[in-house]
């Protein structure tokens, strides 16, 4: 008996070309994209708030430095002004 060669079915080829977006309902895809956009915006907002909080903390630390700390950070030397 001779073996028959099987031709790839047309249905299998069509299934391979379909993507996940094609299989899902358009409403579901749009909801997922909206949710993704919202999550990106929330993450960006959190990062901006964290940066702003760090700036405020740095400003407060600078504001509350003692005279000794300010003097130590200064690059001026009294001998230059003799």
Q: Which domain holds residue 31?
A: 26-64
Cβ neighbour number for residue 62 with a 10 Å cutoff: 11
Q: Is 15 a domain residue?
A: no
**Which pLDDT score is estimated for 7?**
55
Q: Is 3 a domain residue?
A: no
Q: Is 35 a domain residue?
A: yes
Sequence-ordered list of residues with C-beta below 8 angstroms from that of 4, at least 6 positions apart, any chain:
none
Can you tell me the distance from the alpha carbon of 44 to that of 50, in angstroms, rounded to the nearest whole number?
Answer: 10
Q: Is 71 a domain residue?
A: no
Q: Is 70 a domain residue?
A: no
The number of domains in the chain is 1
Residue 2 pLDDT greater than 70, yes or no: no
pTM: 0.51
Residue whose tokens read 């200064």: 74
Q: Is 9 a domain residue?
A: no
Q: Is 36 a domain residue?
A: yes
SS3 66: coil
């Amino acid at each position: 008996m001779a073996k028959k060669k099987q031709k790839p079915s047309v249905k299998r080829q069509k299934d391979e070309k379909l993507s996940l977006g094609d299989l899902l309902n358009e409403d579901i895809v749009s909801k997922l994209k909206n949710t993704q956009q919202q999550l990106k915006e929330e993450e960006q907002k959190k990062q901006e708030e964290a940066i702003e909080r760090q700036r405020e903390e740095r400003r407060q630390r600078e504001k509350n430095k003692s005279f000794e700390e300010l003097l130590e950070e200064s690059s001026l030397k009294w001998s230059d002004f003799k």
